């Protein structure tokens, strides 16, 4: 618990996004079904949401289900959907007690009705909460998000409601699912792979990336704090030189 004291509270990442990878390998290495890895992964979700709130992170985005994950075996997809439903049902009280505001990014319309119902209820119930924004990426694909934003803006241009010259980076960001959220400062990927897997491609432009070899079910509060501590040691340059950033010229 006290490890969070090692973090510099003035340099916390505002928004952390996590690619929760390695559930399947975690399960297989124990001779278990892949779904057991996802089940264990839900416990890590609970642990990390609690830690993020306690540390004082403003937004936490979790890549829970990608648009490509629909291609997995039907039993795995339906197992993941039931885990998501029971997570949402069991966590609402915790979210309320802890002032957590639930949001989602992704094609919510593609989720089974029983999931979108419980999801919409949780989103509505937590809408007035002002603490941690817990943002679940569900049926999310970044290229799809970018194309949808471009299409929406193109329609407005054709309708004469938007001028092409008004399409700026800032305006474009406002048409993404993440509108209103700061870009992620830190992206953590567990499971040891070095890729973004169609996650927040636009928003990740200047994010620091932290790869953990640990499979998601084994990822701990201490690992999370260590990732933030590593972030705090990095120099973010946003295209400038190191000297410019450190004020040496």
Catalytic amino acids? 21, 69
- DSSP class of residue 80 equals H
The reply to whether 228 sits near ligand FPP by the rule CB under 6 A is no
| Contact by Cβ (8 Å): 126, 101 | yes
Q: Minimal CB distance to ligand FPP: which residue? A: 24
Neighbouring residues of 108: CB distance < 8 A, sequence distance ≥ 6:
116, 119, 138, 139
Q: What is the rounded distance in angstroms from the CA atom of residue 85 to the CA atom of residue 116?
A: 9
The reply to whether 79 sits near ligand FPP by the rule CB under 6 A is no
Residues 105-124 that bind ligand FPP (CB under 6 A): none
Question: Per CB under 6 A, which region of 16-24, 112-120, 171-179, 204-212 contacts ligand FPP?
Answer: 16-24
By CB neighbour count within 10 A (0-12 exposed, 13-18 middle, 19+ buried), where does 175 fall? middle
DSSP string, 33-47: -HHHHHHHHHHHHHH
The reply to whether 187 sits near ligand FPP by the rule CB under 6 A is no
Contact pick of 100, 136, 153, 200 for ligand FPP (by CB under 6 A):
136
Pattern 207-226, binding to ligand FPP, x per CB under 6 A?
---------x----------
Token look-up 């993020």 returns: 52
Give percent helix, percent strand, percent coil of the chain, each to the nearest 5: 50, 15, 35
Residue 205 CB, shortest distance to ligand FPP, in Å, is: 24
Q: Output 24 or 184, the one with its CB closest to ligand FPP.
A: 24
- Interaction site with ligand FPP (CB under 6 A): 20-25, 38, 41-42, 45, 62, 64, 69, 83-84, 87, 136, 191, 216
């Amino acid at each position: 618990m006290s490890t969070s004291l090692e973090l510099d509270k003035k340099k916390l990442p505002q928004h952390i996004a996590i690619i929760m990878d390695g559930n399947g390998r975690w399960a297989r290495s124990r001779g278990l079904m892949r779904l057991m890895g996802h089940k264990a992964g839900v416990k890590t979700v609970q642990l990390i949401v609690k830690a993020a709130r306690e540390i004082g992170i403003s937004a936490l985005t979790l890549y829970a289900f990608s648009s490509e994950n629909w291609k997995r075996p039907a039993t795995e997809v339906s197992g993941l959907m039931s885990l998501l439903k029971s997570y949402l049902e069991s966590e609402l009280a915790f979210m309320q007690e802890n002032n957590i505001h639930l949001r989602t990014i992704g094609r919510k319309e593609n989720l089974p009705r029983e999931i979108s119902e419980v999801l919409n209820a949780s989103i509505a119930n937590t809408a007035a909460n002002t603490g941690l924004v817990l943002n679940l990426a569900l049926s999310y694909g970044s290229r799809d998000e970018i194309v949808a934003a471009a299409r929406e803006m193109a329609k407005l241009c054709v309708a004469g409601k938007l001028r092409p010259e008004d399409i700026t980076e800032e305006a474009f960001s406002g048409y993404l699912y993440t509108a209103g959220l700061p870009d992620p400062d830190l992206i953590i990927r567990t499971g040891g792979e070095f890729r973004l897997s169609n996650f927040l491609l636009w928003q990740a432009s200047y994010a620091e990336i932290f790869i953990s070899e640990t499979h998601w079910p084994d990822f701990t509060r201490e690992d999370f704090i260590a990732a933030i501590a590593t972030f705090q040691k990095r120099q973010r340059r946003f295209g400038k030189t190191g000297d410019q950033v450190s004020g040496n010229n």
